[in-house]
Each structure stands twice: as structure tokens, then as C-alpha cells.
Amino acid sequence: TRSFGIALGSNLGDREANLQRGLAMLIERTQPIAVLAGGVYETEPVDCEPGTQAFLNSVIELEATCTPQEMHAHLQAIEQAMGRALTDGLPVDSSAVRALMGRQHAWVSASWPQPPTAQAFAGLGAMYLEHPEFTARYEAIAPGLAEYMAEAMRSYAEAELR
């Protein structure tokens, strides 16, 4: 078995209930042998729109048979495939990109308390452009990927989640 930590946070709706649901989903998906939960902390939003609600945050330590790398590998595969789609010039509304965005939506759904709505999924994509660390992460994979991801997520949300 391996031990690893995962940070949880919420600034929408019932923040405490969201953290509890996130923990329950994490336990359900990883089937850990042991769980250690840290305290819950409220933090002010950073690099967010004015009026954004404060975040509730916690850190969970899991002991499980999977590795953090295995949990993260699925997301990395989506990101790399999106980089190739961009490089290959695929439109954001192509069937191949829509399929990747379906995988992205499923991955996000697994880590959020509930599947993101069309607005939330498109908003997450917009955050990739607005938040410098997300932008840098995607731009390191392929120049222009942050904007491409945002547009693909918006397109998927409009076509598949409404």
C-alpha cells in the first residue's frame, strides 16, 4: 500500500457539505485502507473575481493500493491528447475533441461533489485562461492549449450539458 495526500476545497454552495461529499467520493473511488483527515480551514480567494466566496479547505491522507500517479495518469492522458488535437488542427467541436472533453468532464465529475453543470464546466475552462498557474501548465504542454481547452470545454458544455 501507499500513502498520499489530496487537497480538497470548495467555495460554492454548502462548502462543508461539498467537502464531505468530495471525501465520500474519494473513498468510494480509491477504496483506501486508511483515511486521515486534517482540519478544515477557511481561506480568502486568490486571483478570483471580486466578491468570490471564501474557500473551505482540507487535506486528506489516504493509504491505498493505487498510486497518486495512477490517479493522475488519466488526466495527463487527456491533456496530452488535447495538445495533439491542437497541433493537428482539430476544431474544438470535432467528434475527437468532444470525446476528449467527455473524458475530461468524467474526470472532473469524479473529483467534484457532483458532475459540473454546463456553466461550471465552461467556467472551469475559462479559469484555465484567467489563472496564471493553469495557463502556464497547459502552455507547457502545447502553445495555445489553455485557450484551446477553454474553447473545447465551452463548446462541449453548450452541446452536451444543456
Contact 85, 77 (CB under 8 A): no
- Per-residue model confidence (pLDDT) at position 50: 87
pTM (2 decimals)?
0.64
Residue 53 carries which DSSP code?
Answer: P
pLDDT at 138: 92
pLDDT at 153: 95
**75-99 residue pLDDT tens:** 788 889 999 999 999 999 999 999 9
CA distances from 53 to 14, 33, 130 (A): 11, 34, 17
Cα separation values, 79 from 85, 90, 138, 145, Å: 10, 14, 8, 9
Chain segment 9-25, per-residue pLDDT in tens: 888 878 888 788 777 76
Q: Which amino acid is present at 29?
A: R
